[in-house]
Amino acid sequence: MAEADKVFSRSIPEFYDTYLVPLIFETFAADLAGRVAAAKPLSVLETAAGSGGVTRSLAPLLAADAKYTVTDLNQPMLDHAARQQGSDGRIRWQQADALHLPFPDGHFDVVCCQFGVMFFPDRVAGYREALRVLKPGGKFVFNAWDRIEHNVFADTVTKAAAAIFPDDPPMFLARTPHGYHDAAAIRADVKAAGFADVSIETVTENSAAASHRDPAIAFCQGTPLRNEIEMRDASALERVTEAAAGAIRAAFGDGPVSAKIQGHVVTAIAPGAV
């Protein structure tokens, strides 16, 4: 993974939360939150929390006496998530690396992660850390995007950007968010980390936006694809955004647009008594 793939700074968090979260994350956040809440946990750790989509969905479902620790490697994203969440004494916000968690062994009932594992430089190490901080019988629940061809707006934007830079296409979306899509490989990695009980469900949802421009802005300006575009041509961001918007308009028309999104939801149980 390119180093720029991990940089969510400047205005990216705001565009990410305003455009990308409602476009592709909210439905999966509600799904993940429901799976976590079903375990009735009193101690939850969220890693790679991003702009807080899962946090906003999960917090209302947790018990009044639950403790919810929300972490992300990227401080600007975490700051934005905290501002959006508002006051909640159950929530502790902490910058943390999912591969080197600053928490004791056997501390949490559930560890969850929404579309963050694709960014881990060593996924097995990240899964081992989740296992380490889980109580025996605790749950690790996370999701990962399926291949980009099953995520239509992301695929359309990637092709539009590639047409502008044919000699060096910006491939962030295909390379990183959609680059860890093989369910068999994910299962093998989770088991290699020490989890024996692993289930994977492929979930298909609908991605909807009020305008053909919204998905273009979401992906071009609300993700590190922006960094890739500006490294190629500092003046090209709006041009690529408009090209992506035009491609979506050509495929889906004016007005509200919608298309398929698909991801894998993984539930792994820590060994030991429940």
* pLDDT confidence tier of residue 21, bands split at 50, 70 and 90: confident
Dist CA 71 CA 44 (whole Å): 11
* pLDDT confidence tier of residue 12, bands split at 50, 70 and 90: low
Give the model confidence (pLDDT) of 84-121 as tens digits: 898 999 999 999 999 999 999 999 999 999 999 999 99
Q: Are 271 and 194 in contact (CB under 8 A)?
A: yes
Range of lowest pLDDT (60-69, 74-83, 90-99, 137-146)? 74-83
> In the chain, where are the structural domains located?
3-269
Which pLDDT score is estimated for 213?
95
Question: pLDDT > 70: what percent of the chain?
Answer: 95
Over 80: is that where the pLDDT of 176 sits?
yes
Handedness of CA 182, 247, 11, 89 (dihedral sign): negative
Cα dihedral: 95, 189, 57, 175 (round 10): 80
CATH topology of domain 3-269: Rossmann fold (3.40.50)
Q: Are 145 and 151 in contact (CB under 8 A)?
A: yes
Give the model confidence (pLDDT) of 189-225 as tens digits: 999 999 989 999 999 999 999 999 999 999 999 898 9
